[in-house]
């Protein structure tokens, strides 16, 4: 059985449920109670869009750090588990890490990141096509007055262009010694906890001590990063095996998952986005795929926005007309 809690840190669209399944299916005591095939090949409200891994029931489900804490207090699990921690709601990855380090003495963190803008775009497209319900649960649709099911693709496209960095999460690799995109500094959060603990422990050791609280630590012992694109190659299981051995959190055999992995990759139709964006940068031509979804159109417009005349009213034009402007330059 798991000897430590594993916390998968990722926003919607980053294949975290699949990683959860990979770990669960490979752990000695969990393999027999984990489904053989987690991949959903139909579009349902219950299991998300095509290509999700939600046939693997995630208990607890993907939730922000406040909901994780509430689940722990309410359910009081005695066993170690895999927790899927969403940090989009808070906006702070480090905020979530800090809280976990305050209630778990030996956590294992796996952060699923996007190392570049194209990978970030893929994660965002995954989120909007696989699990659009999330944007209603988080009330982002109300905040930005967006109807994800609207037939007015142009209005939706334009809002994706204008509010892209606010509407969609960012999951850049974390540097524990620097602030990053969210104005989020793990070290500063840990410093504040250390100050509180040391002052209280020094003055009131009968109330604040290692029996009742986690001893302050700046950086977790077990923190690992997996880039989203690593999930879509044949080396994922080797990476996960390496992480499990390094963190010493259970007995694992990834052979079943390694044999299965290509089945998951084959259902990830959004990988076409990366090929088409690379092709567009060379040809500057629009095909059917690039006009197949408002977010995909928005991503293309963001590619050319700084090349359009300042007085050009791109919001009223089709993608084809917008691209014609830069083709003539």
Longest dimension (CA), the chain: 76
Q: What is the spatial distance between Cα 218 and Cα 192, in angstroms, rounded to a whole number?
A: 10
CA of 110: how far to CAs of 158, 226, 282, in Å? Answer: 34, 7, 36
pLDDT (0 to 100) of residue 297: 97
Paired sense of beta strands 108-113 and 82-85, if any: unpaired
In the prediction, which pLDDT does 45 show? 67
The answer to whether 166 and 117 are in contact (CB under 8 A) is no
Nearest-CA neighbor of 293 among 164, 165, 169, 149? 149
pLDDT in tens, 27-53: 999 999 999 999 999 877 677 788 889
pLDDT at 170: 82
The span from the CA of 166 to the CA of 143, in Å, is 10
Rounded Cα distance between 72 and 69, Å, is 5
Res 92: pLDDT: 81
Cα separation values, 224 from 9, 183, 294, 307, Å? 10, 21, 34, 39
Cα–Cα distances (Å) from 72 to 104, 130, 163, 305, in that order, read: 11, 27, 35, 46
CA 301/CA 272 separation, integer angstroms: 17
Query: For the chain, which residues score pLDDT lower than 70?
Result: 45, 89-91, 177-184
pLDDT for the residue 91: 54
Single out the residue of 47, 33, 45, 95 nearest to residue 68, CA to CA: 95
Q: Where are the alpha helices (DSSP H) in the chain?
A: 16-26, 65-75, 93-103, 117-130, 133-137, 140-143, 153-167, 186-203, 228-231, 236-247, 255-266, 272-283, 294-304, 319-327
Strand partners, 9: 85, 111
Closest-CA residue to 257 (of 25, 14, 19): 25
| Cα 31 from Cα 90, distance rounded (Å) | 33
* Contact yes or no for 218/197 (Cβ under 8 A): no
Whether 282 and 259 have beta carbons less than 8 Å apart is answered as: no
């Amino acid at each position: 059985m798991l000897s430590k809690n594993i916390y998968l840190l990722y926003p919607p669209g980053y294949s975290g449920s699949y990683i959860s399944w990979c770990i669960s299916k490979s752990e000695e005591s969990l393999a027999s109670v984990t489904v053989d095939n987690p991949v959903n090949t139909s579009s349902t409200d219950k299991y998300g869009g095509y290509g999700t891994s939600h046939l693997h029931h995630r208990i607890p489900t993907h939730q922000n750090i406040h909901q994780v804490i509430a689940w722990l207090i309410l359910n009081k699990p005695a066993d170690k588990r895999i927790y899927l921690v969403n940090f989009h709601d808070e906006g702070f990855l480090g905020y979530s890490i800090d809280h976990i380090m305050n209630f778990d003495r030996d956590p294992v963190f796996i952060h699923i990141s996007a190392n570049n803008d194209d990978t970030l775009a893929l994660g965002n497209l995954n989120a909007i096509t696989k699990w659009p319900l999330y944007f209603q649960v988080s009330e982002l649709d109300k905040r930005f007055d967006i109807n994800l099911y609207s037939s007015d693709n142009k209005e939706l496209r334009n809002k994706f262009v204008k509010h892209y960095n606010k509407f969609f999460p960012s999951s850049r690799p974390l540097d524990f010694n620097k602030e990053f995109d969210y104005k989020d500094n793990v070290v500063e959060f840990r410093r504040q906890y250390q100050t509180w603990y040391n002052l209280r422990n020094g003055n009131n050791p009968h109330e604040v001590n290692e029996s009742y609280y986690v001893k302050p630590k700046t950086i977790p012992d077990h923190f690992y990063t997996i880039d989203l694109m690593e999930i879509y190659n044949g080396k994922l299981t080797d990476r996960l095996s390496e992480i499990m051995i390094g963190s010493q959190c259970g007995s694992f055999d990834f052979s079943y998952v390694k044999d299965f992995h290509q089945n998951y990759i084959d259902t990830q139709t959004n990988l076409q986005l990366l090929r088409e964006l690379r092709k567009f940068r060379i040809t500057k031509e629009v095909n059917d795929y690039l006009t197949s979804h408002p977010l995909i159109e928005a991503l293309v417009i963001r590619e050319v926005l700084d090349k359009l005349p300042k007085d050009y009213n791109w919001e009223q034009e089709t993608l084809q007309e917008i691209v014609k402007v830069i083709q003539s330059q």
